[in-house]
Amino acid sequence: EAQLVESGGGLVQPGGSLRLSCAASGFTFSSYAMSWFRQAPGKGLEWVSVIGGSGLPTFYADSVKGRFTISRDNFKNTLYLQMNTLRVEDTAVYYCAKYKQGGTIREGFDYWGQGALVTVSS
């Protein structure tokens, strides 16, 4: 069965940087596009970014475009989210998730990590 485990969350000051990792196992990682989502405390779910199985294409939410970079290492079966110029409003639990069907978003996301808390505060 697929498993996703996030790491790298923590406390960072506004304007700072952080890199999240998502270690994948139990499926052929390179065959699946992957995505990041986030959830601010007490709020709903927000899509952040997506990356194709080969590393392209990539898409971003307007709220993070130009500040966040999604990437993957298919040899290490790991997904990344580099977050720069962090803002207080980026405070959230960040989830990585796997497409249910390899290269299309149409069937949703069937496996999610446990989440990594990112707190942006001075």
Partner 1 sequence: DIQMTQSPSSVSASVGDRVTITCRASQGISSYLAWYQQKSGRAPKLLIYAASSLQSGVPSRFSGSGSGTDFTLTISSLQPEDFATYYCQQTDIFPLTFGGGTKVEIK
List residues near partner 1 by CB under 8 A.
35, 37, 44-47, 50, 59, 61-62, 95, 97, 100, 105-110, 112-115
Question: Which residue bears the tokens 């971003």?
Answer: 60
Min separation Cβ 41 and partner 1, Å: 11
Min separation Cβ 31 and partner 1, Å: 18
Strand residue runs (E) in the chain: 3-7, 10-12, 18-25, 34-39, 45-51, 58-60, 68-73, 78-83, 92-101, 104-112, 116-120
The C-alpha atoms of residue 64 and residue 14 are separated, in whole angstroms, by 14
Pick 15 or 107: Cβ nearer partner 1: 107
Residues forming beta bridges with residue 20, ordered by sequence position:
81
The helix/strand/coil state of 90 is helix
Min separation Cβ 39 and partner 1, Å: 9
Pick 17 or 65: Cβ nearer partner 1: 65
Pick 89 or 107: Cβ nearer partner 1: 107
Min separation Cβ 122 and partner 1, Å: 26
